[in-house]
């Protein structure tokens, strides 16, 4: 079925302990007439064996120090990128923290936190050590770097504009392999294991990528024989596997191309037009203000100001909440017992039909609204 040279290539590259994922990947790449069912089954096996390979060893000799930082501020942003792309320079420019920057690689060897003060919010920015290809397997302390990145609200992927798209594809591959899904939403699939009754499969839409038989095969691969599955959107087998595993992290990512002063204007224009991308130059301090605006948008934060009865609003100390926050969230942020004593609130701003408007706990606040809370 395959040429002898290909089998020779496979034999030469099989290594102890990693041959199963390799051969499965090989089968996916060189499939002559495989059906979708076989492909879905292979993908399930590949995800399962890859997860086993990525699990850290439990032996005492493999223990090492992590460098997680206590979460502080209103949001957390992780800086990820290859060595010498400008992460430390960016941190020094945007915050008051001085991170060592030099012309050689691996200048930063641990996680260095800084704080960006923007629109009344304190945004924690983490300068992580540069990761290399194979970081998901633990190369260059890659596991610790990626573990910190999983706790962030937004990932800034710092890229060298002079290197083209090579760095972006490699970093996406590394993050994808450890369960970080960039700029994707969680699949709208209801999945609940049961103790008996077999597999109950339903869908509210027409499925073009999955079928009941394929879903059963994937579930059997994970030793699940009793479950309830409901597809609310047309999802792929990979997305269904993500739902079964249950440890995937879905987060927004901003691709930042640095060193644009070293490439042509045509290339700058091409990179700037890519989705979720911003072009900057840390050396010449170009476009950093626009990057902050985009970061604020991706973090989806809102500023809420408070007002006491008979006094002017306090615009110096804002309450920072997520978009879609209600009056109840504001009460909990001020004091945990305030919601139980709540009578009504007066709100000024774009979320009201007229100012001031008397509202209840379920009213949704918007950016730069002013609120006055009246207790019972």
| Domains present along the chain, CATH in parentheses | 75-98+108-183+250-297 (3.40.50.300), 189-247 (no CATH), 301-375 (3.10.20.30)
CA pair distance 13, 22, nearest whole angstrom: 9
Per-residue pLDDT, 167: 85
Q: What angle do CA 164, 168, 172 make, to 5 degrees?
A: 160
Q: Are 102 and 86 in contact (CB under 8 A)?
A: no
Q: What percent of the chain has pLDDT over 90?
A: 30
Cα–chain center distance at 153:
7
The pLDDT tens digits for 222-276 are: 888 999 999 999 988 888 888 988 888 899 999 999 999 989 999 999 999 999 9
DSSP-derived secondary structure letter, 256? E
pLDDT given for residue 87 in this prediction = 82
| Neighbouring-strand partners of residue 305 | 370
Beta-strand runs (E) in 238-341: 249-251, 253-258, 277-279, 301-306, 314-322
Tokens of 308: 């006491």
Q: Are the C-beta atoms of 113 and 125 separated by less than 8 Å?
A: yes
Return the pLDDT at 190. Answer: 93
Cα dihedral sign, 304-308-311-317: negative
Summarize the confidence of residues 156-171 as an average pLDDT. Answer: 87
Distance CA 91, CA 116 (A): 9
DSSP secondary structure of 172-193? HHHHHHTTEEET-PPP-EEEEE
CB 150 within 8 A of CB 80: no
Identify the pLDDT of residue 345: 93
Taking the C-alpha atoms of residue 150 and residue 153, their distance in angstroms, rounded to an integer, is: 8
The yes-or-no verdict on residue 376 having pLDDT over 60 is: yes
CA distance 237 to 41: 9
> What pLDDT is attached to residue 7?
44
Question: What pTM did the predictor assign?
Answer: 0.75
Check residue 197 and report its DSSP letter: S
Can you tell me the distance from the alpha carbon of 349 to that of 365, in angstroms, rounded to the nearest whole number?
Answer: 9
Exposed e or buried b per residue across 301-310, where buried means at least 16 C-beta atoms within 10 angstroms of its C-beta: bbbbbbbeee
Please state, in angstroms and rounded to a whole number, the distance separating the CA atoms of residues 138 and 141. Answer: 6
Residue whose structure tokens are 């109840």: 328
The arithmetic mean of pLDDT across residues 136-163, rounded, is 76
| C-alpha span between 237 and 229 (Å, rounded) | 13
Task: Please list the alpha-helical segments (H only) found in 133-264.
Answer: 142-149, 166-177, 212-221, 237-245
Instruction: Report the pLDDT value the prediction gives residue 172, as an integer from 0 to 100.
Output: 87
| Tokens describing residue 133 | 């290809």
Backbone torsions φ then ψ of 263, nearest 5 degrees: -125, 175
Structural contact between residues 125 and 79, judged by C-beta atoms closer than 8 angstroms? yes
């Amino acid at each position: 079925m395959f040429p002898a040279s290909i089998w020779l290539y496979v034999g030469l590259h099989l290594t102890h302990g990693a041959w199963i994922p390799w051969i499965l990947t090989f089968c996916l790449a060189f499939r002559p007439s495989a059906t979708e069912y076989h492909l879905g089954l292979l993908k399930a096996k590949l995800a399962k064996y890859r997860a086993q390979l990525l699990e850290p060893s439990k032996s005492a000799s493999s223990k090492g120090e992590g460098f997680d930082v206590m979460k502080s501020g209103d949001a957390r942003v992780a800086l990820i990128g290859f060595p010498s792309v400008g992460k430390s320079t960016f941190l020094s420019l945007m915050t008051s923290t001085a991170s060592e920057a030099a012309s050689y690689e691996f200048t930063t060897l641990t996680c260095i936190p800084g704080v960006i003060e923007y629109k009344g919010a304190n945004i924690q920015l983490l300068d992580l050590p540069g990761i290399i290809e194979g970081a998901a397997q633990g190369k260059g302390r890659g596991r610790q770097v990626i573990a910190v990145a999983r706790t962030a609200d937004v990932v800034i992927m710092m890229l060298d504009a002079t290197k083209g798209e090579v760095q972006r594809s490699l970093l996406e591959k590394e993050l994808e392999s450890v369960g970080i899904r960039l700029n994707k939403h969680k699949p709208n699939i209801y999945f609940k294991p049961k103790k008996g009754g077999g597999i109950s499969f339903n869908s509210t839409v027409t499925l073009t990528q999955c079928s009941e038989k394929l879903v059963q095969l994937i579930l059997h691969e994970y030793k699940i024989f009793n479950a309830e599955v409901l597809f609310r959107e047309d999802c792929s087998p990979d997305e269904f596997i993500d739902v079964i595993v249950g440890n995937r992290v879905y987060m927004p990512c901003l691709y930042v191309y640095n060193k644009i002063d070293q490439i042509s204007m045509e290339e700058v224009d091409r990179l700037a037009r890519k989705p979720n991308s911003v072009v900057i130059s840390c050396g010449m301090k170009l476009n950093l203000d626009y990057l902050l605006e985009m970061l604020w948008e991706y973090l989806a934060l809102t500023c809420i100001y408070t007002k006491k009865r008979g006094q002017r609003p306090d615009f110096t100390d804002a309450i920072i909440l997520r978009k879609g926050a209600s009056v109840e969230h504001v009460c909990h942020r001020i004091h945990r017992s305030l919601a139980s004593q709540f009578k009504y609130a007066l709100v000024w701003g774009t979320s009201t039909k007229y100012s001031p408007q008397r509202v209840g706990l379920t009213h949704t606040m918007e950016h730069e609204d002013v609120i006055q809370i009246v207790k019972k």
